Amino acid sequence: MIMKNVIIITSTFTNEKKGGVPSYVENRAEYLSKKLNVSVFGLGKNQKSKNVIYKSFGDSSKFKYLFFFYWIKLVLLCFKHRKSLIEIHNIPVAFPIFFIFKTRYFFHGPSRLEAKIENKTLIEQRFNYFIEKICLKLSYKIFVVSKHFRKVLIKEHNLKNRRICLNLPKYKFKKSYFHEKKSNNKNLNFFIVRRLVKRTGVVPFVKLFLKMIELKDIPQNSKLIVAGEGPEKKNLIYLIDNSNYKKNVEYLGLISEEKKIELYKKSDYNVVPTIKLEGFGLVIIEAGICGCMSIVTNVDAMPEVIGYLDNQGLIYELNESSVFNTFKLLKKDLYDKKNLHLVTKKKFFFD
């Protein structure tokens, strides 16, 4: 029998949380909907789409209190669509589904290592590992978003390679992502859009950026724009406000998708200063489709993604020596924006 209906179970939708897994799921759903009937079940407010059905089964902020009730609602939803192929992208939200239905699991990160980075207790780390191991065993097929994550998964759970399939992100192409008109702005413009947590390395990078301005290792008219929210927001604002070069750094907070695309188009370089645990780095291809080259740390899958773009990108270590040596070589129009756009579109985007 040829499967015509697909259910994707995620944590939240992109109208509640941008980037990461929600963004991957939204674009995968659009891609699959070209040939299949696709429904996405998750937490939060329903979002609208011409091609995909989005169905919320609870409030994301109340999940930790009402998870058992939400699980029952999700199970009943799946029973209504029991002839569908089920894909799971979040273990806590979809946990009982693994035991009842035949499922495919999309691995977006090792739960034990994530718990460790979040400074959770050893008991919590081991519990997360055990739950993940059970769900992996119950899944008839496992997908990863990068070759790096395949290696992590094999090492973490001692899985056989043949059970794991690579599934690179696919984004819906919009012509508005790119224009060939060159900017009259002579400044060297950098952009960071990241969740402001310690592992993404935004605050340490901004410190180094300000120091490069002070030591005149990069042009004095260089401008860094930072967007995003998170626990490190206060530290970032304090750092900028107490610098002698705060005119060179602008913090915007959360921004719209339209504003993000606009800033990618205007920027010379997209900076990704992640310290650890980066399974793919979707911002690299988001920037690439806008013709903006990424400068990424040598962390996890990010060098792999740069490789997919015909090595159109720069890789550095998040320390003073490496940052200074990398950034002092940068200049305006160092690369072909149109070529980067076309390579990114060919590899990751669909019409």
Q: Calculate the average pLDDT of the chain.
A: 92
For 225-236, write each residue's pLDDT tens digit: 999 999 999 999
State how far the Cα of 284 lies from the Cα of 280, in Å rounded to an integer.
9
Cα distances from 149 to residues 12, 107, 113, 287, 306, in angstroms, run 22, 8, 12, 22, 15
SS3 letters across 38-71:
EEEEEECCCCCCCCEEEEECCCHHHHHHHHHHHH
For 246-255, write each residue's pLDDT tens digit: 999 999 998 9
Average of per-residue pLDDT across 280-287: 92
Average of per-residue pLDDT across 99-116: 92
State how far the Cα of 215 lies from the Cα of 70, in Å rounded to an integer.
55
For 67-100, write each residue's pLDDT tens digit: 999 999 999 999 998 889 999 999 999 999 999 9
pLDDT at 32 over 90: yes
Which of 189, 313, 320, 197 has the alpha carbon at shortest distance from 263? 189
Give me the pLDDT at residue 183, please: 65
Average of per-residue pLDDT across 15-43: 90
pLDDT at 190 over 60: yes
Average of per-residue pLDDT across 174-185: 78
Give me the pLDDT at residue 83, please: 87
pLDDT at 56 over 60: yes
Residues 252, 27, 66: CA angle, nearest 5 degrees? 80
Give me the pLDDT at residue 115, please: 87
pLDDT at 1 over 50: no
In 194-273, DSSP assigns E strands to 223-227, 249-253, 269-272
pLDDT at 306 over 80: yes
State how far the Cα of 261 lies from the Cα of 178, in Å rounded to an integer.
9
Percent of the chain clearing pLDDT 70 (strictly above): 98
For 204-227, write each residue's pLDDT tens digit: 999 999 999 999 999 999 999 999
pLDDT at 243 over 50: yes
CB 17 within 8 A of CB 254: no
Average of per-residue pLDDT across 145-163: 88
pLDDT at 310 over 90: yes
Domains along the chain with CATH numbers: 5-172 (3.40.50.2000), 175-350 (3.40.50.2000)
Output 119 or 129, whichever has higher pLDDT.
129
Average of per-residue pLDDT across 23-47: 94
